Each structure stands twice: as structure tokens, then as C-alpha cells.
Amino acid sequence: MTKTRTAPLPISAGNQFSVMPATLEQKSAAATNPNSPDRKYPLERTRNIGIAAHIDAGKTTLTERILFYTGMIHKIGEVHEGTTVTDWMEQERERGITITSAATTCAWMQKPEPDVFKIYEGIKMRVNIIDTPGHVDFTAEVERSLRVLDGAIAVFDAVAGVQPQSETVWRQANKYNVPRIAFVNKMDRVGADFEMSIDSMRKKLGANAWPVLLPLGKEDYLKGQLDVINKKAIIYSESEDQGSVYEITNVPDEHKAIVDKAYNDLVTAVSDLDDEVGTAFLEEKPITPEMLKAGIRRQTIANRFVPVVGGSAFKNKGVQYLVDAVIDYLPSPLDIPPAVGMEPDTHEKMEAATDDNGTFCSLAFKLWSDPFVGKLVFFRVYSGTLSKGDTVYNPRTNKRERISRLIQIQADKRADIDTCYSGDIAAIVGIKNITTGDTLCDEDHPILLEPPSFPDPVISMAIEPKTKQDQEKMGVALQRLSEEDPTFKVYTHEDTGQTIIAGMGELHLEIIRDRMFREFKVDANAGKPQIAYRETITTPADGEGKLIKQSGGRGQYGHVIVKTHPNERGKGITIENKVVGGNIPKEYIPAVKKGIEEAVLNGVVGGYQVIDAHIDIIDGSYHDVDSNELAFKLAAIFAVKDAFKKAKPVLLEPIMKVENMTPEEYQGDILGDLQRRRGKIGAIESKGNLTAVAAEVPLAEMFGYATAIRSLSKGRSSYSMEPSHFEQVPQQLVAAVLDQKETK
């Protein structure tokens, strides 16, 4: 059974609020209206979108253009100059990369234009944008942003098409059922290929992608766009107006056949999916632009269709019509299904529908330490409203807190607000006892929403403060940074007592150290990066553990028998209690499970964490006087270690998915180098005048790779990599890995 907290009815785009309903009909409409009369933009005129893509596809440049054309900024900043709004951290501006997702808000009105149909023409809309990082080391930022967004713009490089990180963000969007629009950017670059980019989306991503706005020309001859639905051309002025001036004209004769074919393909694709358009198509009735756009909107929101737009953000061509497409095709908070959670005690399924009049429910998706205002908690409101002075309840901790300050985020700027409404993304200042993924809700109507999930770290290094004065500051800094970033872990090595930091890659840990120095004034030395190896078992085995201590007075007695077998890859550790007849009393089973969870943290091959194993607790025995929880916990640890030793344990290493883009003349050298690094070569494709080499390579072999390919290709090759999976370390290398660990 599913509990529904509120059940709003969608309302039309032109709906305005009645201040005082006079008739029964007006009262009924007001009762079902999910909008508070105090909100500036009603829900149906709100879009929460993210911009996600591979490194250097142009996400931040695109965000900057959107902010300029919506009037939020009056001068366009550039990534290469370090002047963009959403890349506000010092490290981002120095390196020209996005490290942390930045939220910003703007307003957009679709302008009336001759003979061009737009769904929301003349209605002012609110667009909340989150610009996400492209580098795989900061994948947590993309994950948590997509968890709370209603739609996304997936940006692709017109020369490269779908790249490895494009696939990762696409999978993340699939996981959270986020509808998307594709923007094929950089159509001004040499080698830009719009058709190839769409083809790679269909083949590599399985996307049902069809163009709604074609680029008009390419490379140096990119002039604007061709509107497939309205059969018009948008020509951008070449004057120094930064793309603000454009002209709507008829399609030039030489492009009419291309537009007609694209239109026919689009109508066929939509009619195959959408009942209304399909019926009109079969009955040979005219399909108006209004009908076609409405069909595309329905199927995009249903995640069965991906509209594609071509253009160039850097050259200011096509961004305005991309924002129009966001308004036309991506969902408002009312268009998506209600947020699903569960009742904290009964675990009964519950829904939180988007409604300002409902009970308050939100998800805290990001924590951030701000040097000026302190600890910020970014949250997305799914239902109800939150005002200053209200009290929120955290069902994970069973604690309540009063909200003293609410702020609206504009990248690096903060604006205080009194109330935030359903569908809004805002931040709370100074809330305690909270972690990423916590639900904040009404205490009388508790609900637990599903938190975003994050990958495990793949690389670690030892770190120590340079001076005694830095010791305490380092502890505070690492705690704050690990609270902010769920993929960054800190722990103390059992044998050496060293502080170990672990993350998603070398760049990730480098940025952490840099932030410690700049934000927390901690100077630290770091060891060489170490690989996060894992262990697993390959055969079933039994294990027995006994703890018997008798030294006068009350003793210790615990006895546990377990059976283990390998789990399928990616399933993790699973534990099942199969004890019958009370051989282990029920009150000691939690202690046994705790012992098992502790035992898998240190395997028997090299002391690395064990993954993908199933453990059954099958038998044991107890003593009426001497048995206690600690005895059974220790007995469980002994039993699991005993079973693992017999289960033919193996060492696993992280394998990276690597894509190398290289001029053809260096292809042989690049392939040879990858094979020397134990790489398995996958696809080799031609992309314009470059060759894309895909391979799977152990992370242990990838240190220093950037320097190696620079020298092999005279600086003309580039690469990207992301974690793929774990594989068994070849037997001849196991001893070397273990020796290396011993010397640390």
C-alpha cells in the first residue's frame, strides 16, 4: 500500500492566482491549485535543470551564455580567462575546470517571433540551473545534482561525439529517470560533425535522439540554426553584440531538402511513440507545430525521446533557442512523478507530491563550508514550504532543528529569503547533525527519501601535518571536507597509525590538499598515491570461530559457524541468518553480524577490503553465564577469517576505462604504450582527423600517463579515464603488490 501525502492536479501554463475565491467553482480550483499565492513563479512555469557532459564539452561556457541572455549578468565571462560566474572557486579559475556543482537562478521569456510557434510564448519562466563538473574525479557532484533535478541538458562536443564521461553522466541520468535535451556544442570547430554526434548518441547511449534545431553551416561557416518544426532559419548577426541579435527568415533554398527530411523523420519518430501525433499521422490530418511540440514534450518527459539542438555556445550561436527548447520540452516539478520514500518505522512506501499546500518534505543533497556564512546545506523541496523560524525534523537522527536563515544561491553570491516553496532549490545556514542524502521533513509526517548513491574511492595516500600546530587544524579540515564530499574518505591505518585520505583520482586528492591549504590554512605532506585494491573469494567454504576465555570469575564464550560463497560482481557483501533451534540466541545475532561486517574490512590476502561475498550464519553454541555480545562478535570475526582462508581468496585491482584521442600518425605508439600497461584494447574509431582508441587499463599502470603520451605524440594526444570495474590481479604480480604494501 502506498500513502500519498498530497495529490495536486496540474494546472495550465497561463493560470493566475485568485486572491479571494468567491464562487464554489473558484474555491474548488483553489483547493486543487498546488501553488502558494505568495510565490513569484508558479510551479508549471519553473524548470530545475542540470548541465552535464564530458570534460571540455562546454558546460560552463553554455551556462555563462544562458545567464547573459536571461539578463542575470551583463558581461559574458570566459573559462580560459577565469571570469565565469559558476566557476567561482580559486582552483576552478586557475585550472579552467569545474570542481563543484554551482546553482544559479534566472528568468526567461520566449519572445514572440514572426511565424514561429513557441509553447510558452510571452510567459516569463523561472529556470534554476546547476552547472556540474565533467571530470570523473568529481562524479559525486553530478550524481547528487541529478538526484534532485527535473531535467538536464546533455552537452556533446561536435568533433568527438559521445565520450567516456558522456556515457557516465547519461547512465546517472537514466538511474534517476531525468528527462534530457542534447546540445551538440562546438559546431564552429574544425571537424565538427552533427550527424556523427547524433549517430553516436543512438549507438553508444541507446538514445532515441532526433534534431529539432539543426546547425546552419559548420566550422567557420556556422551562421545559426534551422528550426525543423517551424521550417525557419535563425541567422545570427556577426556584429559585436555577443549573439543577442538574430533574424528569423525562410529556409535558404540549398537547405530546404535537409529541413524537409529532418521534419519528416521527426514526425515519424514522434508518431511512433505518441498516440495523439500518431493518430493524426495515420489519419493523414495536418500535424501543426503546436501538436508536434506537445507530442515531443510528452515523450521527452516520459524519457522515450531526446530532442537534439546544434550550435556553438562559445560563438554565441543557438543558445537562446536552446533555452526555448528547455522551456518547451523539459518538465516542470508538476510534470514529474511524486517523490517516493518510506515511513521511517514501518518502511511502508510513501509519496510526496509537489504541492505548496502539502506537508514539508525535502532532500539535503549537498553540504558546503562557506568562509563567510559557515556550513551550508543545499536542499531540494519536494512538498510544502519552509520559512525562517520553522522547525525541521531529520528522521535518520530523530532530531529537530529550528531554521534561522534561508538563502537563495547565485553561484558565489548569497541572497537571504524568507520562504522557499515546493520545487525550489535553496540552502540552510548553520544546521547540525546532517549528512548528504538526509531527508528534512515535518515531524508529524515523517518520510525517508532515497539518498543519492556514490562510488567507492579508488586511490589513497598518507597525509601528515608539517607542524604540530597544523595537527588539530588538519583534523578539523579533513572532517569538514569528508562531510562535504561523499567520495572522499579519511581513516587511520591500523598498523602504522598514519592518516590515510582516499578519493576518486589524483586530481581529486590534489584539490583536497589545495583546499586544506587555502581554506583551512593547513600545510601537509603527502605520500605517493596508493591503489585501493580489494579482495574477494572464488569458491564456497565453511568457517568456524570460537572464543573461550576462563581466568577466574566470569569468562568469555562465543561460538559461530558460517558458510560463505561468492556473490555476483557488484552485489557487495550480503549476510543471512540461518540459525535454527536457538543455538545462537536471537539477542546475539546483531553482534555476530557486526563481527562479520568488521571482518570483511580486512581480507586475508593483503588486508584489503573484501567485496562481493555472501555469508550465511548457520550454527554455533552459547554458554548460559559466559556468553556476551563481545564474545560473539569476536567469534564471528574468527569464523569469517577461517572461511575466507579456505575460499581461495584473490586480490582485485581497479580497472579504468581509458579513451585516447590522437592524430593517426601516433596511433601505433599509443597502442603499444597501452599494451605495455596491461591494457585491453577495445574499439578504434576515426573521428574527423583524429583516432579514438578505447581501452581498459589497470589503474596501477596509469600513473604518469599524461606525461608519457605528451612525449609520444609531441603534445598532440589527449585522454580521459574513469573507473570501470575490479578485476583479478595476475598471479605473477600479487607478490609485488603485497611487498609494496609491506614497505609502506
Domain ranges of the chain: 43-329, 339-449, 459-522, 538-648, 654-743
* CATH architecture group of domain 339-449: Beta Barrel (2.40)
The runs of H, that is alpha helices, within 568-724 are 589-599, 629-646, 667-676, 705-712
For residue 576, how many other CB atoms are within 10 A of its CB?
A: 11
Give tens-digit pLDDT for 314-341: 898 999 999 999 999 999 999 999 999 9
CATH topology of domain 459-522: Alpha-Beta Plaits (3.30.70)
Instruction: Give Cα 275 to chain centroid, integer Å.
Output: 33
Domain 538-648 has CATH 3.40.50.300: no
Q: In angstroms, rounded to a whole number, what is the distance separating the alpha carbons of residues 673 and 501?
A: 30
Give tens-digit pLDDT for 420-455: 999 988 889 878 888 888 899 999 999 999 888 887
DSSP string, 392-414: EEETTTTEEEE---EEEEETTEE
For residue 224, how many other CB atoms are within 10 A of its CB?
A: 25
Residues 6+ apart with CB under 8 A from 734: 605, 651
Give tens-digit pLDDT for 509-539: 888 888 888 888 888 888 877 888 999 999 9
Main-chain phi, psi angles of 576, to 5 degrees = -135, 135
Give tens-digit pLDDT for 706-735: 788 888 888 888 788 888 889 999 999 998
Q: What confidence category does residue 594 fall into, taking pLDDT thresholds of 50, 70 and 90? A: very high
- Pick 162 or 244 by higher pLDDT: 162
CATH class for domain 654-743? alpha beta
CATH topology of domain 43-329: Rossmann fold (3.40.50)
Give tens-digit pLDDT for 338-396: 999 999 888 889 998 999 999 999 998 888 777 677 778 889 999 999 999 999 999 98
- Pick 411 or 692 by higher pLDDT: 692
- Contact at 8 Å (CB) between 213 and 309? yes
Give tens-digit pLDDT for 613-648: 999 999 999 998 888 999 999 999 999 999 999 999
Is the pLDDT at 32 greater than 80? The verdict is no
- Contact at 8 Å (CB) between 618 and 579? yes
- Contact at 8 Å (CB) between 133 and 115? no
Q: In angstroms, rounded to a whole number, what is the distance separating the alpha carbons of residues 628 and 170?
A: 50
Looking at residues 207-236, what average pLDDT do you find? Answer: 94
Q: In angstroms, rounded to a whole number, what is the distance separating the alpha carbons of residues 618 and 576?
A: 9
The runs of H, that is alpha helices, within 531-607 are 589-599
β partners of residue 380: 363, 425
If you average pLDDT over every residue of the chain, what do you get?
Answer: 85
Residues 6+ apart with CB under 8 A from 333: 43, 46, 48, 150, 354, 422, 423
CA-CA-CA-CA dihedral for 95, 101, 103, 106, to nearest 10: 60
* Topology alike, domains 459-522 and 654-743: yes
Q: At 630, which amino acid appears?
A: L
The predicted structure's pLDDT at residue 199:
95
pTM exceeds 0.85: no
Q: In angstroms, rounded to a whole number, what is the distance separating the alpha carbons of residues 296 and 266?
A: 9
**Could you tell me the three cell numbers for 37?**
499565492
